C-alpha cells in the first residue's frame, strides 16, 4: 500500500483568507471580478444565447420601442426638429426672396442711378433709407380723391448700429424747397413733376451730403389694405380720440348726407385693412384744432410699424413658405433679401426707448394762393441732431409746424 504524505497548502493556494482582526460577522468581501460574476446573468434561460455559458451584464437602462433608450430617442427627436426648422426656414427664405425679387422689379427705372453707395454692410454701418408712402386712392371709398402719382408721406430712416438706435426724420409734404429744374415748390410736387428719381434728387439736395439716400422703399397704402386683411388685421395704439371730416364715405349718397365722419377712440384698436387705410388718410380731427399734417404722417407710421410687428411675429415664420412673397406685394425697393435681413437684425437690436424721432418744419405761409411750410435755420439744427452732432431739442411751443426732435416715443411730436 502506498503511503499518503500530508502536505500543507502553499499560502497562495489557501481556499480562505486570514484577516488580522479576525472574521467579522456578515459576508466575506469578494474581489471585483467575483462581485461582477455574481451580479451577472448566465444565459442558461431563454434567448438567442441559451446554453452558451457566456456571462452578460444586466443593463439598468430601460429599453423602449425598437430597443432604443430614452437618450437615443431624445437625441433623434432634437435632431429631427432641428432639420425641420432648417428646411422650413430655407423654404421661407426662398419664398421671401421671390417676393423681394418682384419688389425689385417694381422699382421705377432710373432710381438706382441716383442712390448713394453704402458705406459698408447695413448691420455695421449707418445707412439712410427713404420711406415713401404713396396713396393713389384706388381702393374702396376713393371716389372724388386725386389719383395722380404723388408722395403722400416722406420719412428718412437712418440706422445707427454703433449706437443701437434708429432715427426717423419726417418731412412735411407742404415744405417749401427747390426742385431741380422747377424752382421753389412744395416738396410733395417733385413726385408729380419728375417721378421718384426727381423726388430723391430733391430730398438729397434738401438734406445735404451727410444724409444722402442709400436705399428707397415705396409703400403703396392701397396694397397695404389687402396685406393687413391677409394677416388678420393689426392693432394700433391710437394716440387720441379722433372725429374726422367727411371723406371716403362708405354709404350711399343719401346716408352720406347725414354721416358725421370716421371715429377712432384713444388706445389700442384692432383694425381691418380698410380701417387702417382710413386711419392713415385722416387730415382733420374735429376734436383737436391743433391737428396738422404731421399727425397724419404719424398715423401712417403707426400703421406701418404695427404691420411690420405683425409680420415679424413668430406665427408669421410658419406661414412664410406659403405666403412670403405675397407679404411684400405693397412695396417696391432696391434692397436685396440679404440687405433686408441685415435691416431686420439692426431693428431687432435697436432700443425703442433710444429711438430718435425728428421732423423738419417752419412757419405756415400762403404763397400764390397755396399753403406752404417755409423752413429756416432751425431745420439745419434738426439735421445736426439727426447726425448726432447736437443734442435733441423739442419743437418750440406755440408753433404747430416747429421743427425738433424727441427721444423715445413720437407722440406729441408729429402733430
Dist. CA 292–CA 294, nearest whole Å: 5
CA distances to 21, 40, 42 from 50, in Å: 44, 15, 9
Q: Which of 29, 25, 26, 35 is nearest to 16 (CA)?
A: 29
pLDDT tens by residue, 61-104: 555 556 677 787 788 888 888 888 788 777 767 777 887 888 89
Tell me what pLDDT residue 138 has. 44
Q: Residue 88, class by beta-carbon neighbours within 10 Å (0-12 exposed, 13-18 middle, 19+ buried)?
A: middle
Dist. CA 229–CA 270, nearest whole Å: 11
Is the pLDDT at 346 greater than 50, yes or no? yes
Could you tell me the pLDDT band of residue 39, with boundaries at 50, 70 and 90? low
Tell me what pLDDT residue 45 has. 47
Is the pLDDT at 146 greater than 60, yes or no? no
The residue written with cell numbers 413668430 in the block is 314
The residue written with cell numbers 371716389 in the block is 143
Helix axes 70-106, 337-349, angle to 10 degrees: 110
Q: Where are the alpha helices (DSSP H) in 13-69?
A: 32-39
Tell me what pLDDT residue 32 has. 58
Cell of 239: 394716440
325 in any annotated domain: yes
Could you tell me the pLDDT band of residue 370, with boundaries at 50, 70 and 90? confident
In the chain, pLDDT over 70 holds for what percent of residues? 73
Question: pTM score, two decimals?
Answer: 0.72
Helix (H, G, I), strand (E, B) or coil at 406: strand
Could you tell me the pLDDT band of residue 408, with boundaries at 50, 70 and 90? confident
Range from 178-182, 224-228, 409-413 that averages highest in pLDDT: 178-182
Is the pLDDT at 292 greater than 80, yes or no? no
Dist. CA 247–CA 254, nearest whole Å: 15
Could you tell me the pLDDT band of residue 140, with boundaries at 50, 70 and 90? very low
Number of folded domains that form the chain? 1
227 in any annotated domain: yes
354 in any annotated domain: yes
Helix (H, G, I), strand (E, B) or coil at 276: helix
Three-state helix/strand/coil letters over 328-373: HCCEEECCCHHHHHHHHHHHHHCCHHHCEEEECCCEEEEECCEEEE
38 in any annotated domain: no
pLDDT tens by residue, 195-204: 899 999 999 9
HSE at residue 140, side-chain half, CA atoms within 13 A, is 13
What is the domain-level CATH number for residue 117?
A: 3.40.630.190
Could you tell me the pLDDT band of residue 371, with boundaries at 50, 70 and 90? confident
pLDDT: is 42 or 302 the higher one?
302
In the chain, pLDDT over 90 holds for what percent of residues? 29
Tell me what pLDDT residue 43 has. 46
344 in any annotated domain: yes
Taking the chain, what is the end-to-end CA distance rounded to the nearest angstrom?
Answer: 131
45 in any annotated domain: no
| Rounded average pLDDT over 396-401 | 82
Pairing of strands 127-134, 215-220: parallel
Is the pLDDT at 124 greater than 80, yes or no? yes
68 in any annotated domain: no
Tell me what pLDDT residue 385 has. 94
The residue written with cell numbers 433679401 in the block is 337
User: What is the span of the domain harbouring residue 284?
Assistant: 87-407
Helix, strand, coil percentages for the chain (3-state, nearest 5): 40, 20, 45
Tell me what pLDDT residue 25 has. 54
Dist. CA 271–CA 304, nearest whole Å: 13
Could you tell me the pLDDT band of residue 142, with boundaries at 50, 70 and 90? very low
Beta bridge partners of 236: 269
73 in any annotated domain: no
pLDDT: is 141 or 402 the higher one?
402
Amino acid at each position: 500500500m502506498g503511503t499518503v504524505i500530508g502536505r500543507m497548502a502553499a499560502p497562495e493556494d489557501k481556499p480562505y483568507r486570514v484577516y488580522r482582526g479576525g472574521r467579522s460577522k456578515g459576508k466575506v468581501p469578494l474581489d471585483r471580478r467575483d462581485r461582477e460574476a455574481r451580479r451577472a446573468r448566465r444565459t442558461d434561460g431563454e434567448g438567442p444565447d441559451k446554453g452558451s455559458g457566456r456571462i452578460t451584464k444586466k443593463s439598468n437602462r430601460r429599453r423602449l420601442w425598437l430597443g432604443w433608450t430614452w437618450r437615443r430617442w431624445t437625441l433623434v427627436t432634437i435632431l429631427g426638429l432641428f432639420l425641420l426648422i432648417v428646411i422650413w426656414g430655407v423654404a421661407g427664405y426662398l419664398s421671401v426672396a421671390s417676393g423681394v425679387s418682384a419688389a425689385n422689379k417694381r422699382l421705377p427705372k432710373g432710381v438706382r442711378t441716383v442712390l448713394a453707395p453704402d458705406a459698408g454692410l447695413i448691420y455695421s454701418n449707418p445707412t439712410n433709407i427713404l420711406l415713401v408712402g404713396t396713396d393713389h386712392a384706388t381702393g374702396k371709398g376713393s371716389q372724388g380723391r386725386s389719383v395722380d402719382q404723388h408722395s403722400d408721406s416722406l420719412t428718412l430712416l437712418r440706422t445707427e448700429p454703433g449706437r443701437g438706435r434708429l432715427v426717423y426724420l419726417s418731412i412735411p409734404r407742404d415744405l417749401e424747397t427747390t426742385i431741380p429744374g422747377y424752382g421753389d415748390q412744395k416738396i410733395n410736387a417733385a413726385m408729380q413733376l419728375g417721378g421718384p428719381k426727381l423726388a430723391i434728387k430733391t430730398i438729397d439736395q434738401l438734406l445735404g451730403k451727410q444724409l444722402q439716400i442709400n436705399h428707397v422703399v415705396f409703400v403703396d397704402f392701397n396694397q397695404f389694405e389687402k396685406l393687413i386683411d391677409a394677416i388678420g388685421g393689426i392693432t394700433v395704439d391710437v394716440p387720441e380720440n379722433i372725429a374726422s371730416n367727411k371723406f371716403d364715405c362708405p354709404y350711399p349718397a343719401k346716408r352720406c348726407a347725414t354721416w358725421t365722419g370716421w371715429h377712432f377712440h384713444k388706445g389700442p384698436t384692432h383694425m381691418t385693412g380698410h380701417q387702417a387705410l382710413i386711419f392713415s388718410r385722416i387730415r382733420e380731427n374735429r376734436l383737436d384744432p391743433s391737428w396738422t399734417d404731421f399727425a397724419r404722417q404719424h398715423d401712417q407710421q403707426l400703421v406701418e410699424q404695427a404691420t411690420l410687428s405683425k409680420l415679424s411675429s413668430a406665427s408669421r415664420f410658419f406661414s412664410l413658405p406659403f405666403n412670403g412673397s405675397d407679404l411684400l406685394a405693397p412695396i417696391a425697393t432696391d434692397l436685396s433679401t440679404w440687405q433686408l435681413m441685415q435691416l431686420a437684425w439692426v431693428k431687432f437690436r435697436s432700443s425703442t426707448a433710444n429711438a430718435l424721432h425728428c421732423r423738419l418744419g417752419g412757419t405756415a405761409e400762403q404763397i400764390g394762393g397755396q399753403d406752404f411750410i417755409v423752413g429756416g435755420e432751425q431745420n439745419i439744427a434738426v439735421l445736426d441732431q439727426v447726425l448726432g452732432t447736437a443734442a435733441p431739442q423739442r419743437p418750440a411751443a406755440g408753433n404747430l409746424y416747429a421743427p425738433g426732435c424727441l427721444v423715445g416715443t413720437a407722440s406729441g411730436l408729429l402733430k
